[in-house]
Amino acid sequence: MRLASMQLGINMPARVERTVRRSDAENQLVGEPTGEFYDVILYFGVIDILQDYDISKKLEHAYKSMQYDPTSISAVDPKQYSRRFRDFIFRIFVEDT
């Protein structure tokens, strides 16, 4: 039996599990699983792909690094940005087991 081919955005079933954040957990990024699942349609886009990491971005990074965690700001070295994005995608989109 041959499986139907999938195209990005077409014929790609996706399910999500509802999560709930605790009211006392201010920095909680992902809530606690509830066991409720829903069919969803995902829209996915990448921005800033044509943004140069030039001297202005390096200065922005240096300035913001004095105020915030340097790894959490958006103006970071492209390799670090790429790793952070990839890690985020792998953490959010998990394989259905």
At 96, which amino acid appears? Answer: D
Q: Give the residue from 20, 15, 24, 23 showing the smallest Cα distance to 32.
A: 20
* Each residue's pLDDT tens digit, 68-87: 888 888 788 888 888 888 88
* Each residue's pLDDT tens digit, 12-69: 678 888 888 877 766 667 788 899 999 887 776 666 667 788 999 899 999 999 998 8
Angstrom distance (rounded) from CA 74 to CA 55: 15
Both tokens of residue 2? Answer: 């041959």
Q: Which residues is 39 bridged to in the sheet? A: 15
**Domain definitions of the chain by residue range:** 14-92
On whether the pTM is more than 0.85, the answer is: no
Give the mean model confidence (pLDDT) for residues 4-16. 65
